[in-house]
C-alpha cells in the first residue's frame, strides 16, 4: 500500500467513485471494458471495491453506473480509433484516476499527457509507484488547474501542436465555470491540426436544476458528483462546438449501450440528458 499522502480535493474524491464503478464493471462477464487498475486506486483511497451485486454498488443509482460505464467504453473506442488513423498523442483533460495509459493497447511511439490538479496526480503517482505499474505508452503527468492557463505547461511537457491529437474530457467540463469550460474547448481547437479528435461528456442542465431544487442550502457529501457541478453544456451542443471549429456527433447513453450489446435496464435509462460527443477538426 502507498504511504499516506495528500488529501484528495473534492473533485479527486469523485474520481475514486468513478474508479469504483470501473472496478465493478471489470468483474462482469459481459463487461464493456476491463480496468484491472481501478480497484487498487479505490483501496488506496481507503474504500473497498465491490462486485456489481455488492451493497456498495446498490447504493449508486443505476443511471450513474450506466453513465460512467458507457462513457468509458465510448471514449476508449474513440481514442483507439484516432490512433488507428495516425494520431500519436493523447491529452486527457482532468485525468483523475484514469488508467488508459496502462490498460489500453497503444501503438508504438504514442504519448499520453495526463492533466489534473497536483494533489490528484500525486495521489495517483503514489499508487502507480507502489504497484510498480508500467504504462503501455509514454506517459507524461502535467499538474495544472484547468480553470487557468494549462496550454503553456502542456507545451513545456512536450506537446506538439503541429501533429494530430486526441483530446479526452471525461466528466470534467461540469466542474469548471461556464467561462473555463468554453475556454477549454476553444484552446483545444487552437492546438489541433486537421484530423485531430475531441471526446467529450456533457452534463444536462435538467439534472443540475433537480439537485439544486432538492438541496437549496447546497449541502452535499464528499462524493456527490452533482453538488460539485459549476456548469452545464449548451443545449445545442453541435452548434456550440461548430462555433469553435469542431465538427461533432452527439450520442445518447442508452443508444450507445444498446449498440455495445447491453441495452440498459429500465431504472438505468434516465440519464438526465447526459450526452457523449465525438468531434474532429477538418
Residue 204: the pLDDT is: 67
Q: At what angle do helices 10-26 and 62-84 cross, to 10 degrees?
A: 80
Residue 271: the pLDDT is: 56
Interval 213-226: pLDDT, tens: 444 454 444 345 55
Interval 35-78: pLDDT, tens: 999 999 999 988 756 544 343 444 457 888 999 999 999 999 99
Residue 221: the pLDDT is: 43
Q: Provide the 8-state DSSP code for 137.
A: S
How many Cβ atoms are within 10 Å of 24's Cβ, its own excluded? 26
Interval 5-36: pLDDT, tens: 555 666 567 889 899 999 999 999 999 999 99
- For the chain, the structural domain boundaries read 62-280
Residue 46: the pLDDT is: 84
DSSP string, 201-255: EE--HHHHHHHHHH-TT----TT-TGGG------S-HHHHHHTTT-EEEEEEHHH
**Nine-digit cell string for 195:** 484530423
Interval 149-202: pLDDT, tens: 999 999 999 999 999 999 999 989 988 888 999 999 999 999 999 999 999 999
Q: Provide the 8-state DSSP code for 263.
A: P
Of 253, 202, 261, 258, nearest to 232 (Cα)? 202
Residue 101: the pLDDT is: 98
Interval 225-259: pLDDT, tens: 555 555 567 779 999 999 999 999 999 999 999 99
Which secondary structure element, helix H or strand E, spans residue 112, and what is its range? strand 111-116
**Nine-digit cell string for 180:** 473555463
User: In angstroms, how far is the first alpha carbon of the chain from the final one?
Assistant: 46
Residue 174: the pLDDT is: 85
Of 73, 106, 75, nearest to 89 (Cα)? 106
Per CATH, is 62-280 categorized as 3.30.365.10? no
Amino acid at each position: 500500500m502507498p504511504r499516506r499522502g495528500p488529501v484528495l480535493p473534492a473533485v479527486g474524491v469523485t474520481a475514486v467513485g468513478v474508479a469504483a464503478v470501473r472496478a465493478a464493471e471489470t468483474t462482469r462477464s459481459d463487461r464493456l471494458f476491463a480496468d484491472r487498475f481501478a480497484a487498487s486506486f479505490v483501496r488506496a483511497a481507503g474504500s473497498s471495491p465491490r462486485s456489481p451485486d455488492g451493497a456498495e454498488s446498490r447504493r449508486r443509482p443505476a443511471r450513474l453506473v450506466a453513465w460512467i460505464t458507457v462513457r468509458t467504453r465510448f471514449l476508449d473506442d474513440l481514442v483507439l480509433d484516432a490512433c488507428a488513423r495516425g494520431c500519436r498523442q493523447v491529452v486527457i483533460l482532468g485525468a483523475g484516476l484514469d488508467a488508459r495509459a496502462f490498460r489500453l493497447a497503444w501503438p508504438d511511439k504514442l504519448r499520453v499527457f495526463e492533466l489534473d490538479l497536483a494533489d490528484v496526480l500525486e495521489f495517483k503517482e503514489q499508487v502507480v509507484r507502489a504497484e510498480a505499474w508500467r504504462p503501455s505508452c509514454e506517459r507524461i503527468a502535467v499538474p495544472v488547474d484547468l480553470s487557468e492557463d494549462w496550454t503553456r505547461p502542456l507545451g513545456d511537457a512536450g506537446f506538439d501542436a503541429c501533429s494530430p491529437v486526441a483530446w479526452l474530457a471525461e466528466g470534467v467540463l461540469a466542474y469548471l465555470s461556464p467561462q473555463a469550460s468554453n475556454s477549454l474547448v476553444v484552446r483545444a481547437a487552437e492546438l489541433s491540426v486537421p484530423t485531430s479528435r475531441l471526446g467529450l461528456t456533457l452534463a444536462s442542465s435538467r439534472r443540475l436544476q433537480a439537485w439544486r431544487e432538492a438541496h437549496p442550502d447546497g449541502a452535499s457529501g464528499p462524493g456527490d458528483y452533482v453538488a460539485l457541478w459549476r456548469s452545464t453544456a449548451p443545449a445545442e451542443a453541435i452548434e456550440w462546438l461548430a462555433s469553435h471549429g469542431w465538427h461533432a456527433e452527439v450520442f445518447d447513453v442508452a443508444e450507445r449501450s444498446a449498440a455495445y450489446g447491453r441495452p440498459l435496464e429500465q431504472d438505468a435509462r434516465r440519464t438526465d440528458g447526459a450526452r457523449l460527443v465525438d468531434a474532429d477538426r477538418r
